[in-house]
Structure 1
Amino acid sequence: MIFNDFFIQFGYPQAWQMIIPAVLIAFIIRKLWHKPIIYKYSLGHVLHAKSQYKKPLPLVLFDFLRLAVVTLLALLLFEPKIIDKRSQLPLDGIDIVLVLDVSGSMQFMDYDDQKKSRIEVAKEEAIRFISARNNDAVGLVIFGNDAVSRCPITIDKRILKKMINDLYIGVVDSEGTVLARAIITAANRLKDAPSTNKVMIVLTDGEPSVQDLDINIAIKVAKDIGIKIYTVGIGSEKEEFFMHPFYGVVQKPKVNASLLGHIAHETGGQFFMARNATDMRKVYDTIDKLETTAHQVPVFGIYYDLLLPLGGVAFGMVFLYGIFSTLIWFVL
């Protein structure tokens, strides 16, 4: 076995946050309340003065077993695994970042084929799209009046889908649409991605806010990195109105189709309009046919979970401690 071909990975490296307080509490309790058992013998002070006393070997063995068991149990909290470096898998895939608008206007329920809000349909179709991209690394950026990188580029689809499913209006400041900042945030995630095929999918339903950056700055950043942007307008590019319970007749945010088309054209992508849930699904199905490229990702096919071996060793030491404490007690 060549040790350079293996490394240890911890599934729960945050375990030290529990271990350190527990050790400190145990230390304090022992210092304040523990009182060792003292045996007094006649002429004991004479033996001590002549340095003829030494700790019996069985007691040293007990101390070692106790320390070893505690150390192993603490190590198990980190969920250690041995990974075989030689089992790294080459996957055919691309690096994608979803950029989702979570501004206040995304709560409108204007899809005729489904009684769901824009954000609900966008979330459902995004999850369906991610489920179909088995070999692709996908990240998530959300934006309203702020742009936030919600999830780095990852192949862990389970955690990514959970993050998307947990999105709601108000998770970031919803009073605005900083489209350019969101694109730059997503580009920052893609700049160091290993794939040569970098894709960004931007979904929005309105005009950028006044305080947003110049969109041409975001386009230049994306082009310099080599990112292809697919833009999706949610809702309608026409003027529409709705009855607000407090303000009466209010105009809905209108999709700036020309701006989204400009972003897609300049970066080599495409612009889509999703006027209903069916359109949204067709958009993702079209993007799903993207060209792929082979690249190495940190996925390994062979790993050895150390939970059972280390747990077995700890149990064996506890068993030996019980046996020795029963048998050796009579010879002390």
Structure 2
Amino acid sequence: MIEFIWPWVFLLLPLPLLASYLLPRAGNRDAALYVPFFQTLSRLETSAPHTSVRNLLLSAVALLAWALLVTAAARPQWVGDPIELPTTGRDLMLVVDISGSMEAQDMELGGQNANRLQITKSVVGDFVTRRTGDRLGLILFAARAYTQAPLTFDRKTVETLLYEAQIGIIEENATAIGDGIGLAVKHLRERPLASRVIIMLTDGVNNAGEVTPLQAGELARREGIKIYTIGIGAETGTASSLFGTRNINPSADLDEATLTQIAEDSGGRYFRARDRNELQSIYAVLDELEPVDQEAETFRPTLTLFYWPLGIAVLLSFLLVLVKLPWNQWLGRNTAEADKPVPLQGGH
């Protein structure tokens, strides 16, 4: 079905007719050059039947071009049949840490050392593909948080944007956990109450941002939004120095106490992922979230059409200009110059 975004523009259709009746006509001016037989030729031309038909056709084409311009200005668009969108599922905002510490290579992927962000992409990407019927969104944070993907049913796009995330695209030397949660709450606060969930993954402690994690968690609790927090990073590792190797805890900066409090206050749960297998198990548990009924939603595909009448109107206007050009006068002048006798040159 074709609809118009600005249908009131059609009120301009009679404008050329109104202008022709209301505006004063241009007065006749005396000719600058009088030709004895010009009046006779003029009468013969105006009396020719084809002249009036030609003028009517030109006027009709001009009015058609005007009507097409007005139609284009009204912004026509084709609107398809309603498509019912999935109405069962949850609204999940995935909040992922991409600060510099996520580069730590303390895990394995396919038998090789891998950093924490690579493990996250591998596991969370599989989780995204399994969430059929859910709206998914993606927020990345380091020194500040930003929305990589708003809530959408397009799981493939969310997965692609997750894989494209790189450490360093935001200032990486800080971690704004509170801002990440706060931005997720902003996206979810208008969604149905029973369907709103935040899954936040980090490997550090909040040391940047405008909102503290506990403030953001309290905001989520008041909005009825459940938060699941995940702390990622190995607990044992070795470091080399001049005095040999020593055992270290690569996740010493992980603020588990705050992550646990945020999750429990909102009715969620804190998980600890020390390797890829544990992270997979965590997202398998999150997969068990039961879908909930939501209000039915429909989507109607639209296709913009204004460029069709606009293009035809421009073409008709160009043809009118060509027809109005004095082709007879130009051709007659060329013919006269061609028939002009060439003076003979001779000398005695």
Q: TM-score range by the shorter chain?
A: 0.5 to 0.7
User: Higher mean Cα deviation, 60-69 or 111-120?
Assistant: 60-69
2:258: which partner in 1? 259
1:100 and 2:101 are equivalent in the alignment: no
Cα distance, 1:221 vs structure 2:
0.2
CA distance in 2: counterparts of 1:71 and 1:280, whole angstroms? 60
- Quick one: structure 1 residues 7 and 176, their matched pair in 2 at CA, closer, same or farther if it must change by over 3 Å? farther
- Confirm or deny: 8 A CA contact 1:96 1:199 kept in the other structure: yes
1:157 and 2:119 are equivalent in the alignment: no
- Confirm or deny: 8 A CA contact 1:111 1:118 kept in the other structure: yes
2:269: which partner in 1? 270
CA distance in 1: counterparts of 2:93 and 2:105, whole angstroms? 26
Q: Secondary structure at the match of 2:150?
A: strand
Cα RMSD, aligned residues only:
4.5
1:172: which partner in 2? 170
1:156-181 Cα offsets, whole Å, 9 max, x none, are 22332222122100121111111112
Cα distance, 1:306 vs structure 2:
7.3
CA distance in 2: counterparts of 1:271 and 1:167, whole angstroms? 24
CA distance in 2: counterparts of 1:75 and 1:206, whole angstroms? 55
1:193-249 Cα offsets, whole Å, 9 max, x none, are 13522100000011221666433211210100111111111113x3645459xxx99
Cα distance, 1:286 vs structure 2:
1.1
TM-score, L = length of structure 1: 0.67
- Quick one: structure 1 residues 285 and 100, their matched pair in 2 at CA, closer, same or farther if it must change by over 3 Å? same
Aligned amino acid, residue 128 of structure 2:
I
1:220 and 2:218 are equivalent in the alignment: yes
> Which residue of 114, 126, 129 maps to 1:128?
126
- Confirm or deny: 8 A CA contact 2:65 2:316 kept in the other structure: no
Counterparts of 1:1-332 in structure 2, within 5 Å, are: 42=38, 56-63=55-62, 80-85=77-82, 87-89=83-85, 91-114=87-110, 115=112, 116-209=114-207, 213-236=211-234, 238=235, 240-242=237-239, 252-254=250-252, 255-296=254-295, 298-300=297-299, 303=301
Aligned amino acid, residue 188 of structure 1:
K
- Confirm or deny: 8 A CA contact 2:220 2:266 kept in the other structure: yes
1:121-176 Cα offsets, whole Å, 9 max, x none, are 21232222121112111111111111112222111223322221221001211111
- Quick one: structure 1 residues 315 and 185, their matched pair in 2 at CA, closer, same or farther if it must change by over 3 Å? closer
Aligned amino acid, residue 272 of structure 1:
F
Unaligned segments of structure 1, at least 5 residues: 10-40, 48-52, 325-331
Q: Secondary structure at the match of 1:56?
A: helix
1:70-114 Cα offsets, whole Å, 9 max, x none, are 8889999x9x441445x5445111111000001001112221344
Unaligned segments of structure 2, at least 5 residues: 6-34, 44-50, 321-327, 329-348
Larger Rg: 2
CA distance in 2: counterparts of 1:56 and 1:107, whole angstroms? 78
User: Higher mean Cα deviation, 53-62 or 177-186?
Assistant: 53-62
CA distance in 2: counterparts of 1:240 and 1:202, whole angstroms? 25
1:22: which partner in 2? none
Aligned amino acid, residue 140 of structure 1:
L
User: Higher mean Cα deviation, 179-188 or 108-117?
Assistant: 108-117
Q: Secondary structure at the match of 1:193?
A: coil
Aligned amino acid, residue 282 of structure 1:
S
- Quick one: structure 1 residues 282 and 204, their matched pair in 2 at CA, closer, same or farther if it must change by over 3 Å? same
- Quick one: structure 1 residues 276 and 8, their matched pair in 2 at CA, closer, same or farther if it must change by over 3 Å? farther
- Quick one: structure 1 residues 181 and 243, their matched pair in 2 at CA, closer, same or farther if it must change by over 3 Å? farther
CA distance in 1: counterparts of 2:295 and 2:3, whole angstroms? 18
- Confirm or deny: 8 A CA contact 1:144 1:175 kept in the other structure: yes
CA distance in 1: counterparts of 2:4 and 2:96, whole angstroms? 36
Q: Secondary structure at the match of 1:196?
A: helix
Aligned amino acid, residue 276 of structure 2:
A
- Confirm or deny: 8 A CA contact 1:89 1:296 kept in the other structure: no
TM-score, L = length of structure 2: 0.64
Cα distance, 1:318 vs structure 2:
11
